[in-house]
Amino acid sequence: NKCLQPWADINGCQVLAYDRLGFGLTERVLDGQLYTRKSEELFALELLNQIEYIK
């Protein structure tokens, strides 16, 4: 938040940062399929859908 909010204010936009699988505070699971580029894309799109960013 300390880094993203000033950037958002300068650019007049909203910034969304989420905890990606296997990074940050999440625990890494053994299923390697969760860490593919396609899985990352689907997760991000579903997140945007859930917060109703994508109509």
Q: Which pLDDT score, from 0 to 100, does residue 38 have?
A: 93
Q: Which pLDDT score, from 0 to 100, does residue 20 have?
A: 79
Domain boundaries, given as residue ranges, for the chain:
4-50
Closest to 21 (Cα-Cα) out of 32, 31, 34, 38? 34
Q: Which pLDDT score, from 0 to 100, does residue 9 have?
A: 92
Q: Which pLDDT score, from 0 to 100, does residue 55 have?
A: 62
Q: Which pLDDT score, from 0 to 100, does residue 46 have?
A: 92
Question: Can you list the residues of the chain whose pLDDT is less than 70?
Answer: 1, 24, 26, 30, 32, 54-55
